[in-house]
Structure 1
Amino acid sequence: MKAVTIQAFGDPEGLAVIDLPVPAPADGEVLIAVEAIGVGGVDAVVRSGALAAYGFREGHVPGSEVAGTVTAVGGGVDTSWLGRRVWAFTGVGGGYVEHAIAPVEEILDLPANLPAADAVTLGSSGVVAHFGLSHARFTPGESVLVRGAAGSIGIMTVQLAARAGAGAVAVTTSSAERGDRLRRLGATHVLDRSGEGDEDAPAGYDVIIDVVAGADMPSFFARLNPNGRMVAVGAVGGPPPADFGMTMMAAFQKSMSFATFSAATVSPADRRAVRTEQFTAAGRGELETVVHELLPLEQAVPAHRKMDAGEVFGRIVLTP
């Protein structure tokens, strides 16, 4: 089968298409003939080599979510899964392939009215957005700022906050055109990447959901209201400065808080329940999935170039 691997950390040109044997599912696993592969921000971070200290090595196959048809099952897996179209989380890797392995507890039936490309655009991002807001203890009426709103996680956070009755939903993004698209999805205020550009925007926010992190993250602490909460759900801009906590200490009397959030801390059952609800809502048109572009698996390099250049609104989807 065709697979994309990271032959050399760094630029997208370090990705290469190679041939690998079709794997066999082990106990508790399924094999999926892949129809669609979500290209996520974490894939680009892994490819860059920034996470090498966490055990990622050259030769790694990136990609964490796919959709397709179950073609084989391992020991202990109900054979009724055979032939069913599913969404699947493969782990932090293993997705850029024609035939993917996934644990059976990380697969979910696809509604008939939800295309595979939409499923891999929503599957992980919707769960992160939902539980990220929950982790921030968001309640209706509160103001929310989504930093880095043009990616799939940000787009879903905007929609979920608006649907839940946020008093204001501000976004940071890179262009007026993206801002207009985010307004149609529920944003009430559009800011530039520095957090400026809308005189009518709230002076402070009760909740900030940050997909970016990076060097500028500490400057956004000043935008939190007293008792405000910032939750980092991604780090597509790299890690924050080592002393970023000093900015919060300088505003000690505002009782602000900062947290990180990973969906890995949510039980599979809870993730499944939320994902099922969101897939149903998307199939009915109540949630909008934004597929930036469909590209063949062999074009993983240009897909990553587009991500690195900041050209993607929503998610690129690869198709074997």
Structure 2
Amino acid sequence: MKAIAVTQFGGPESLQVLDLPVPDAGPGEIRIKVVAATVNPVDTMVRRGLAFVDDAEPPYVPGMEAAGTVDQIGEGTITDLSVGDRAIAIAVTSGTHGAYAEYLVVPADSVVRAPEGASDVEAATLPMNGLTARMALDLLELPADGTVAVVGAAGAVGGYAVQLAKVEGFRVIADAAPADVQLVKELGADVVVPRGDDFANLVRTQVPDGVDGLVDTAGVAASVTRAVRDGGRVVSSAPGADLATERGIVTERTFVPSYAREHVKLDRLRQLAEEGGITLRVARPLPPEQAAAAHRLLEEGGLRGRVVLTF
């Protein structure tokens, strides 16, 4: 099978097309014939040797989410899927096990049907990014009438966090650059404030006692903690973000591999995508041979939606 991998860590140019053996689905597993694989920030960390490479030998295939068709079901696997069904999957990368490949084997719990009405390119952006936002909100443990602030709301995880919070009835205060204000409003934010250093003060003008929880997807948690009430919660999905501890505030980090087998939560995301509760956003599809260009686009920043590799 064709796969995009690195044998030596480095910049985008280190990504190369390799011919690797097709993996077989074992008991409890499903093999996906990949049509689309999303390019995410964690993939650039794999490429640079900073994540998911400690216990594996090269080559390293990045990619944590994919869409395609069920190609093989392992013996004894319990699933409502059949060979030929369209599906989406989250993958915990390790060595050659990654979504930047024509075939991907994952536990059955990590696979659900693709959302009806969504293309494979769109659907590929849901599993890992959606579950990251889902985990962030779960960790916040917001009260029923709670208010949540979202930093980085125009991004993939931030956008899902805004929409999931609104589905659950929370009030959302989100940040946006001038060009993204309308987008963030359309995602459902109740209040949109300018992105930047004054975020916490602007939130406090809306909620004088501070919000119940804050989702940080931009790696600025420590500088915006003042927006949170005493005893509230801050959750960051940005690797390496500083987390301030003050006023009894609980700080947490998302680690989406621990949600990789949350089948019910993943299927709920699929349902919400079908119902329009969450929006699947694609910045640009590219062929796998342009994976280096995809990584450059991601690292340049400013994308609204994800770049997706199409096999």
Q: Same fold (TM over 0.5)?
A: yes
- Measure how far apart 1:286 and its partner are: 2.9
Partner of 2:255: 262
Question: Is the Cα–Cα contact under 8 Å of residues 163 and 277 in structure 2 kept in the other structure?
Answer: no
Match of 2:194 among 191, 194, 197: 191
1:157 and 2:161 correspond: yes
Partner of 1:205: 211
Deviations 1:68-123 (A, max 9, x none): 11222333236962222211222225100112222222211224423222222122
Question: Is the Cα–Cα contact under 8 Å of residues 129 and 154 in structure 1 kept in the other structure?
Answer: yes
Deviations 1:34-54 (A, max 9, x none): 111122221122222223774
Residues 221, 55 of structure 1: CA spacing in aligned structure 2 closer, same or farther, 3 A cutoff? farther
1:223 and 2:227 correspond: yes
Question: Is the Cα–Cα contact under 8 Å of residues 170 and 201 in structure 1 kept in the other structure?
Answer: no
Partner of 2:272: 281
1:9-158 pair list within 5 angstroms: 9-51=9-51, 54-55=54-55, 58-77=58-77, 81-92=82-93, 93-158=97-162
Question: Is the Cα–Cα contact under 8 Å of residues 6 and 16 in structure 1 kept in the other structure?
Answer: yes
Residues 109, 53 of structure 1: CA spacing in aligned structure 2 closer, same or farther, 3 A cutoff? closer
Distance in 2 (alpha carbons) for counterparts of 1:169 and 1:122: 23
Letter in 2 for 1:115: S
Distance in 2 (alpha carbons) for counterparts of 1:165 and 1:313: 25
Distance in 2 (alpha carbons) for counterparts of 1:121 and 1:2: 21
Question: Is the Cα–Cα contact under 8 Å of residues 121 and 290 in structure 1 kept in the other structure?
Answer: yes
Residues 90, 266 of structure 1: CA spacing in aligned structure 2 closer, same or farther, 3 A cutoff? closer
Match of 1:81, SS state, is coil
Calculate the TM-score normalised by the size of structure 1.
Answer: 0.84
Residues 180, 8 of structure 1: CA spacing in aligned structure 2 closer, same or farther, 3 A cutoff? farther
Letter in 2 for 1:37: A
Calculate the TM-score normalised by the size of structure 2.
Answer: 0.87
Distance in 2 (alpha carbons) for counterparts of 1:13 and 1:281: 37
Residues 124, 69 of structure 1: CA spacing in aligned structure 2 closer, same or farther, 3 A cutoff? same
Residues 178, 48 of structure 1: CA spacing in aligned structure 2 closer, same or farther, 3 A cutoff? farther
Partner of 1:182: 184
Report percent identity of matched pairs: 30
Letter in 2 for 1:207: G
Distance in 2 (alpha carbons) for counterparts of 1:226 and 1:198: 15
- Measure how far apart 1:169 and its partner are: 1.9
- Measure how far apart 1:61 and its partner are: 0.1
Residues 267, 64 of structure 1: CA spacing in aligned structure 2 closer, same or farther, 3 A cutoff? closer
Partner of 2:3: 3
Distance in 1 (alpha carbons) for counterparts of 2:78 and 2:54: 34
Residues 273, 28 of structure 1: CA spacing in aligned structure 2 closer, same or farther, 3 A cutoff? closer
Question: Is the Cα–Cα contact under 8 Å of residues 37 and 63 in structure 2 kept in the other structure?
Answer: yes
Number of residue pairs matched? 303
- Measure how far apart 1:266 and its partner are: 4.3
Match of 2:125, SS state, is helix
Gaps of 5+ in 2: none
Partner of 2:286: 295
- Measure how far apart 1:196 and its partner are: 3.6
Match of 2:126, SS state, is helix
Residues 197, 74 of structure 1: CA spacing in aligned structure 2 closer, same or farther, 3 A cutoff? closer
Gaps of 5+ in 1: none
